[in-house]
Chains A and B, each alone.
Chain A
Amino acid sequence: MGLTLLSRRDPLASTERQLEVLTTTHACPPFDKRLTDIGLAPLRATGITVFQINVGKLCNQTCRHCHVDAGPDREERMTRETAELCIRVLAQTEIPTVDITGGAPELNPNFRWLVEQATARGRHVIDRCNLSVLLLPSQADLATFLAGHKVEVIASLPYFRPSQTDAQRGEGVYEKSIEALQLLNRIGYGQEGSGPKLNLVYNPVGAFLPPRQEAIEAQFRRELLRHHGIRFNHLYTITNMPISRFLEFLLERGNYEAYMERLANAFNPTAAAGVMCRYTLSIGWDGTLYDCDFNQMLDLPLADKAIRHIREVTPAALAGLRNRMIVTGNHCYGCTAGAGSSCGGAVTT
């Protein structure tokens, strides 16, 4: 298993260094200029339908492309006090979806409490799951807990073969992922038309764009069923963002400028209009508010300096957040390339 940038004391562990790399590229025009060219600047939210909580950076894996720089050595995790603030704000709204991410969010001791509180208030809960966490001895009852609360599992599986998956996520992860998917299927996940939803996430295993979502979903469905008897509901394609450990990979291999050029050449105005930050509020492990999980990992908080923390969110402030100005940068090319990319997969068809 690899180490995090932080534990290696790599300069890229600093978000200032990452932003410097992103803003000084010559491979693409500034992202904000592209938004201006298509009449979308300044980008504004259109509402809040997703309340995304990142409960911390602790993870049992150290994936090579991770935009969080998550890993077993990371100690940032959301406290119960902050989790309670999140639920208090959620209760003041009718935001339908609570999307819990990390790290491996399930390793946070407050994860199950958050799930119970959100589902008790009638909200749809998503768990962004790395699959292998379901096999940890300490999480033996996790799968049944998730099923019991009808939590939608969005699970990372970059490819339907071991070599590609292990190259991105670590030696032996493919085998564990398959075992975890079979476990989820056994307790009712991923069945068409009924039961809790099991959706997969495809990330390219390298410096290239994802395939057309429908095409790669069909390939996954055929291969996973044929070789492992696995069923799932949908597959989402997500473009790798040029930040954190994926940025390290790009720079190490001399792919950075070409990748930024590839993203910028594939800029899609329709995808730009539908980016997820326009309908998401992202909350960090310490309660800081962001437009999205990527801005969170680059330490780019909300533009409005008056509302920076979940404790500052009042019903009046929420109204303002629904059409807030969104902080953008060159990393945003990752969400607007090709068919677009979001936590729910491609933005356009």
Chain B
Amino acid sequence: MDTYYHPHDLQKFADMGKGNKELWDKFMGYYSAVFAEGALTEREKALIALGVAHAVQCPYCIDAYSQACLEKGSNTEEMTEAVHVACAIRGGASLVHGVQMRNVADKLSM
């Protein structure tokens, strides 16, 4: 194995059902229900998934949801903004922890 990630491995996702079909079926049933049209459109959900894919930095998910976003009618401007939302939340999450740093520093400092 020369690398942990291979694009064609995405096609093997369903192999996870071989270890425990019941859990796989439950997961897939839930997964399908989550992405079905509801209060949010399928297109909006795909954009959220794309942002989350970048936040969790999953190359499989980035591949799948970049394609899904295009196939739901989104454009690269919208997809870029979704990635920036993920970036802002990740960056903001780091920055807001600076409050803890300040709390500790204030307590220790004269």
Contact = CB atoms under 8 A, between A and B. Distances in A.
Same complex for A and B? Answer yes
Interface of A: 159, 161, 163-164, 204, 206, 208-212, 215-216, 219
Interface string B69-101: 011110101000000000000000000000000
A36 B71 CA distance: 29
B67 A208 contact: yes
Interface of B: 41-43, 67, 70-73, 75, 77
A330 to B, nearest CB: 19
Secondary structure call for the B interface: helix
A206 B42 contact: no
6 contacts: A161-B75, A161-B77, A208-B70, A211-B71, A215-B41, A215-B42
Contacts of B72: 211-212, 215
A215 B70 contact: no
Nearest to A217: B73
Contacts, number: 27
Contacts of B42: 212, 215
Given A161-B75, A208-B70, A209-B71, 11 more contacts: A159-B75, A161-B77, A163-B75, A204-B71, A208-B71, A211-B73, A212-B42, A212-B72, A215-B41, A215-B43, A219-B73
A204 B70 contact: yes
A208 B74 CA distance: 12
A255 to B, nearest CB: 11
Contacts of A209: 71
Contact of A206 (B41, B43, B70, B77): B70
A109 to B, nearest CB: 39
Contacts of B41: 215
A216 B75 contact: no
Contacts of A159: 75
B101 to A, nearest CB: 43
A139 B41 CA distance: 42
A72 to B, nearest CB: 29
A212 B73 CA distance: 8
Contacts of A161: 75, 77
Contacts of B77: 161
